[in-house]
Chains A and B, each alone.
Chain A
Amino acid sequence: MTAYDAVPGLVETKEAYGETTLVVDPARLLEACTYLRDEQGFAFLSDITPADYLGWGSSGVAGYIGTRDGRDINVPGTQGLARLPQPKPKRFSVSYHLLAHERPPRRVRLQVWVDDGEELDSVVPVWPTADWHEREAWDMMGIRFRGHPNLVRILMPEDWEGHPLRKDYPVGGEPVRFSGEE
């Protein structure tokens, strides 16, 4: 949308399924958020979602082997899948879902990409509700937020080690024992 071209640090704009995604440079995240809240009217932060893309498309989907561009009739192993998913720029994406209270409402997804160990600026000064969302992102994915007033674990016990929602963290649980076996 041309309306979002003036967002500071804008890298890319994607439109899919009726939703607008603005990919922004992490270094200018705070400026972009302040701009969107003050100039564009997105006073409501709905959600902050981190996602881990480790292993995205590496083994293909459902174990089938495809190629990036689709099935190749000359390469026999690629018959199973139409194509592999598009590769992602970095390991983690953090999506900020914003809402402007207008009729009709405007929604936008602000997305930043970070690698393991990179820090992001906390948007608590912009939207105070981000407090717990960022704590959950730290707890579950291990993404640190600079300037967060209280970055401690929220869902897991305080002395838990590891970040459960990462793809390299095991699901855990126990193997199910059957009464027939010993």
Chain B
Amino acid sequence: MATVERPPVVWRGTPPYEGSRIPTPIPTVLQVDPSEHELEDVLTVNFGPNHPSTHGVLRLIVDLDGEHVAGIAAVVGYLHTGFEKTMEQKTWWKCMTYPERIDYVSYLNNGLVFVLAVEKLLGIEVPRKATWMRMCMAEINRLHSHLIWLGTSALEIGAISMLWYAFREREKTVELSELVGGTRMHTRYFQAGGLAEDVPPGFFPVCRDFCRQMRQGIDDYDTILTSNKIWLERTEGIGLLSADDAIALGQSGPVARASGIDWDLRRDQPYLAYDEVDFVVPVYRGGDVYDRYRVHMDEMRQSVRIIEQCLDRLEEMEGEPWIADDRKVVLPPRHELHTSMESLIHHFKIVTEGYRVPEGEVYVTIESPRGELGCYVVSDGGPRPWRVKFRAPSFVALEATATCMRDAAVADLIAIVGSLDGVMGEVDR
């Protein structure tokens, strides 16, 4: 690894507006302030890409003055897999396998945003059964994501047994994915036009049972953590982020809602059928790690509510089509290939050349468990995308590390990074 010369550390500049805690001149790098810390006392430590915190390969270069964080810079790119370049070489259908691996914890939400973008360009109408099932699976995936977040973040702060509690419920989530999509993770269940397969028989009782167990599980986590004195001491008042700073830094999702910004794309810019379900958006004003924890817990409860409402509506849609009927985009059912020449030709063209998506550019955003997940797609009218860009909420959340870690101690570093809920696959793409 070649070393690159770094300019000497210097503090200069004025904050962007009155009362801002965003460091200057680089908003994402906290630099050592010589007026506050003796430069000889400052030790630069590398929290390298491989460290016990399970957020993946994040590298933090931290300047420590004793136990206090005097400077911090995040180095990313250790998981940059070149998704966007690779997706430009694949047909639209094959591209569906890629978005799920970007944010591997909320994989169905990533698949959803890409599919919504492609459908917007295609102008295809999705049957309502597919819409409701997509919503149900997206909420199950939100639970999966929050459970992993809870298990691993609590593990890092020291509440080790939370990992086993959270993964007990996480197993049930992936078992539902397996029942519906065929594999535990990365199911490729969302296709342009609807779903890859029908809702399987036996799904509804299993899912309702899951909702009941999930409710009990969330009560368990509440009992363990929410009023726990140690948890409160470790998380209250740590990692403060004000509402103005959060908007200036582009935060969204639980991080923004914990800082007092009442914004949720499911309620304010409804996609799928979120305007037809009842749920509450939790907002807290503290902006610390404890409030982010509370937002995640409340969101889990609301997700269970949404899933139950989806199940009620889906049960009425027994026997309806689960994918659009447009044969230029959607594969025909296999039994038709034996009897219909046109179906055979459509199947051949879609599989070999791929379906064509009309020329244009769209930017679609959804509320992923981490925040505003956006997908910018440019099509040239051909069978392959011209440009795909994913706006990853974790990428933006890591920009806020420098602001959140002012006045932090080393022990709080991991708690704050955990609370920002970064998934490195999404950050590096």
Q: Which A residues lie at the B interface, using CB under 8 A?
A: 16-17, 19, 21, 43-47, 49, 51-53, 56-57, 61-62, 81-83, 85-86, 95, 97, 99, 101, 103-105, 107, 109, 124-125, 127-129, 131-132, 140, 149-150, 152-159, 164-165, 169, 171-172
Residues of B within 8 Å of A19, CB to CB, are 362-363
Interface pick from B20-28, B181-189, B222-230, B300-308: B20-28
> How far is B27's CA from A125's CA once the two chains are assembled, in angstroms?
10
CA gap between A57 and B76 in the complex, in Å: 35
Is the Cβ of B268 less than 8 Å from the Cβ of A103? yes
Closest to A124 in B: B27
13 contacts between A and B (CB under 8 A): A19-B362, A46-B374, A101-B247, A103-B268, A104-B268, A104-B269, A127-B248, A129-B396, A131-B26, A131-B28, A132-B399, A156-B80, A157-B2
B34 close to A (CB within 8 Å): no
CB distance from B296 to the nearest CB of A (A): 21
Residues in chain B near residue A150, CB distance under 8 A: 26, 28-29
Least CB distance, B14 to chain A, in whole angstroms: 11
**In the assembled complex, how far is the CB of residue A141 from the closest CB belonging to chain B, in whole angstroms?**
10
Contacts of A129 in B (CB 8 A): 27, 248-250, 396, 399
Q: Is the CB of A57 within 8 A of B380?
A: yes
Asked if B419 is at the interface (CB within 8 A of a chain A CB), the reply is no
Q: Which residues of B contact A81 (CB under 8 A)?
A: 381
Among B27, B263, B387, the residue within 8 A (CB) of A128 is B27
Partner of B2, one of A17, A53, A109, A159: A159
Assembly CA distance A51 to B378 (angstroms): 9
By a CB distance below 8 angstroms, the chain B residues around A128 are 16, 22, 27, 248-249, 399
CA distance A172 to B88 in the complex (A): 13
Task: Give the Cβ gap from A150 to chain B, nearest Cβ, in Å.
Answer: 5
Determine, out of B125-133, B135-143, B283-291, B353-361, the stretch whose residues face the partner at the interface. Answer: B353-361
Whether the pair A171, B86 counts as a contact (CB closer than 8 A) is yes
Identify which of A17, A127, A156, A164 gathers the most chain B CB atoms within 10 Å of its CB. Answer: A17
Q: Check B77 against A155 for contact (C-beta < 8 Å).
A: yes
Residues of A within 8 A of B386 (CB): 51, 53, 56
Return chain A residues, CB-CB under 8 Å to B76: 154-155
- Is there contact, CB below 8 Å, between B372 and A17? no
Q: Across the two chains, which residue of chain A brings its CB closest to B123? A: A17
- B252-279: which residues lie under 8 A (CB-CB) from chain A? 252, 261, 263, 268-269
Please measure, in the bound complex, the distance between the C-alpha atom of A174 and the C-alpha atom of B26, giving whole angstroms. Answer: 39
Residue of B nearest to A95 (CB): B376
Residues of B within 8 A of A159 (CB): 2, 4
Interface assignment of B52: CB less than 8 Å from any CB of chain A = no
Give 1 or 0 for each of B18-54: 1 = CB within 8 Å of chain A CB: 0000100111110000000000000000000000000
B-side contacts of A165, CB under 8 Å = 84-85
B332 at interface (Cβ–Cβ under 8 A)? no
Contact indicator A149/B26 (Cβ below 8 Å): yes
B360 in contact with A132 (CB, 8 Å): no
* B343-373 interface with A by 8 A CB criterion: 353, 356, 359-363, 365, 372
Q: Are B261 and A101 in contact (CB under 8 A)?
A: yes
Contact across chains for B268 and A56 when beta carbons are under 8 A apart: no
Q: Is the CB of B269 within 8 A of A85?
A: no
The 8 Å CB contact of B85, one of A17, A51, A109, A171, is A171
Chain B 71-108 interface residues, beta-carbon cutoff 8 Å to A:
76-77, 80, 82, 84-86, 89
Which of A21, A109, A128, A155 lies at the interface centre, i.e. has the most chain B CB atoms within 10 A of its CB?
A128
A46 to B398, CA, bound (A): 14
Inter-subunit contact A155/B428 (CB<8 Å) = yes
Minimum C-beta distance from A58 to chain B (A)? 11
Are A61 and B382 closer than 8 Å at their CB atoms? Answer: yes
Instruction: Give Cα A17 to B124, complex, Å.
Output: 12
Give the distance in Å from the alpha carbon of A81 to the alpha carbon of B399 in the complex.
45
What CA separation (Å) do A63 and B1 show in the bound complex? 42
**Is residue B172 within 8 Å, beta carbon to beta carbon, of the partner chain?**
no
> Once the chains bind, are B387 and A51 in contact (CB under 8 Å)?
yes
Give the nearest-CB partner of B24 in chain A: A149
Residues of B with C-beta under 8 A to A82: 381
Query: Do A85 and B376 form a contact, CB below 8 Å, given A19-B362, A132-B28?
Result: no
B395 interfacial contact with A, CB 8 Å:
yes
Q: Are B247 and A17 in contact, with the CB atoms below 8 A?
A: no
The residues of B that contact A44 with a CB separation of less than 8 Å are 247, 250, 252
Question: Are B80 and A155 within 8 A (Cβ)?
Answer: yes
B328 within 8 A of A: no
Q: Is B239 part of the binding interface, using a Cβ–Cβ cutoff of 8 Å?
A: no
Which A residues are in CB contact (< 8 Å) with B353? 62
In the complex where A128-B22, A131-B26, A149-B26 touch, is A97 in contact with B374 (Cβ < 8 A)?
Answer: yes
Q: Does B208 sit within 8 A of A, measured CB to CB?
A: no
Which residues from chain A contact B249 at a C-beta distance below 8 Å? 128-129
Contact A16 B360 (CB under 8 A): yes
Determine how close the nearest CB of chain A comes to the CB of B192; give it in whole angstroms. Answer: 15
Additional A-B contacts beyond A81-B381, A154-B77 (4; CB < 8 A): A47-B376, A53-B386, A124-B27, A129-B248
The 8 Å CB contact of A17, one of B250, B360, B374, B387, is: B360
Q: Does B120 contact A (CB under 8 A)?
A: yes
Give chain A residues whose Cβ lies under 8 Å from the Cβ of B84: 140, 165
Is the beta-carbon distance between B381 and A164 smaller than 8 angstroms? Answer: no
Per the bound structure, the CA–CA distance linking A152 and B27 in Å amounts to: 14
Closest to B267 in A: A103
B327 within 8 A of A: no
